Amino acid sequence: MNKDRISSGLNRGTTRTKLVPVYIMGKRYQVPDDLTIMTAMEYVGYQLKRGVGCREGFCGACVTVYRSGNDYKLKAGLACQTVVESEMYVAQIPFTPANNAIYDVKELQPSISSIQSIYPELMRCLSCNSCTRVCPQNIEVMDYIQAAIRGDIAKLADLSFDCIMCGICAMRCPAEIVQYNVALLGRRLYGKYLSKKGPYLKKRLEEIREGRFDEGVEELTRLDRKTLSRRYYERDIELG
């Protein structure tokens, strides 16, 4: 077994040496056909500053609008997750200059009127579904906007949960709604006001406030290594 290959993360091989043409903001380049849009841009010489973040599909920095060959449809995907295609035309949208309202969740109600007062453009939704069609996370964006309009904050929160706030929905929306900001507000309202609060956390916080663990943790901090190690290996593990 080649030990070097086990740990090698950089300079990884490609399985095929086939090169395909990709147009980066209109400029034609030839890149290996198993690269992602992001690694293709680096392959041709870009050192990315904008349009790159986590590189793993969670941060939304690299959202890219693209079109393939003679197809007229514009699609959007994450550059870090989308493999190039022959005759792909790509452009990055590293920032969305959309409205980020300022608010204090403590002063809001978990209701449609709160959301509407902060993002009034929400009510202009045309139900055109452009947002859903372009979402790189395959989220049912229009459905959550409609839920917001109806005041169904629970559904808004549930459907929008996986949103990475890349901004492309807002860029495509003819009504100029900032879907991802409406969703974030909705989720915060749900988490703060509507999510059921069970008894365990409250009880534990009381116990801590009353000092129930103070002596115990003090003792633990004074234990020598050997005793601590013994306690650790002897501790019972409750899988339930």
Partner 1 sequence: MYPDYMRESLRKVERTRPARLKIARSGEKVFPAMSAKDTEEVLRDFHPDYKPDALREVGVGPNKGERITSEVADVLESHSRINPDDFDLSRIDYDTDVLVIGGGGGGAAAALLARENGAKVVIATKLRIGDANSMMSQGGIQAAVNPNDSPLIHYLDAMGGGHFDNKPELVRLLTMDAPGVIRWLEDLGVMFDKDPEGNMVTRLGGGTSRKRLHSARDYTGAAIMRVLRDEVRNHPEDIQVIEFSAAVELLMDDKGQVAGALLYNLETEEYEIVRAKATIIATGGYGRLHIKGFATTNHYGATADGLVLGYRAGANLLYMDAVQYHPTGAVYPEQIVGFLITEKVRGLGGQPVNKHGQLFVFPLEPRDVETACFIRECARRDNGIRTPTGMVGVWLDSPLIEFINGEGTIRRDLPAMYRQFDRFGIDITKEPMLVFPTLHYQNGGLEINVRGETKIKGLYVAGEASGGVHGRNRLMGNSVLDYNVFGRRAGIHAAREARGVKLGKLSLDHVRRYEEDLRESGIRTSRISPILLPDYTRPETKARQLTTHYEGTLR
Site for partner 1 contains 97 (CB under 8 A): no
Site for partner 1 contains 3 (CB under 8 A): yes
Minimum Å gap between C-beta 66 and partner 1 is 15
CB 55 within 8 A of CB 80: yes
Instruction: Please identify, using beta-carbon distances, which residue of 72 and 198 lies nearer to partner 1.
Output: 198
CA distance 34 to 31: 9
Three-class SS of residue 138?
Answer: coil
- Tracing tokens 């890349």 back to the chain, one arrives at 166
Instruction: Please identify, using beta-carbon distances, which residue of 42 and 85 lies nearer to partner 1.
Output: 42
* Strand pairing class (88-92; 63-68): antiparallel
CA distance 3 to 7: 7
Minimum Å gap between C-beta 175 and partner 1 is 22
Instruction: Please identify, using beta-carbon distances, which residue of 25 and 102 lies nearer to partner 1.
Output: 102
Side chain identity at 218, as an amino acid letter?
E
Pick the binder of partner 1 from 115, 142, 164, 170 (CB under 8 A): 164
* Range 160-163, long-range pairs (CB < 8 A, 24+ positions): 160/184, 160/186, 160/187, 161/187, 162/137, 163/137, 163/139
Minimum Å gap between C-beta 126 and partner 1 is 27
Instruction: Please identify, using beta-carbon distances, which residue of 142 and 185 lies nearer to partner 1.
Output: 185
CA distance 37 to 28: 13
The closest of 123, 196, 186 to 154, measured between CA atoms, is: 186
Residue ranges in 35-64 that form contacts with partner 1 under rule CB under 8 A? 35-36, 39, 42-45, 47-50, 52-59, 61
Site for partner 1 contains 12 (CB under 8 A): yes
Instruction: Please identify, using beta-carbon distances, which residue of 72 and 106 lies nearer to partner 1.
Output: 106
Instruction: Please identify, using beta-carbon distances, which residue of 145 and 185 lies nearer to partner 1.
Output: 185
The sign one gets for the Cα dihedral 136, 142, 143, 144 is positive
Residue ranges in 63-92 that form contacts with partner 1 under rule CB under 8 A? 81-83
Query: Within 13 Å, how many C-alpha atoms sit on residue 26's CB side?
Result: 0
Radius of gyration of the chain (CA): 25
Residue ranges in 190-219 that form contacts with partner 1 under rule CB under 8 A? 190-192, 195-201, 203-205, 208, 213, 216-217
Pick the binder of partner 1 from 74, 91, 98, 184 (CB under 8 A): 184
Minimum Å gap between C-beta 20 and partner 1 is 15
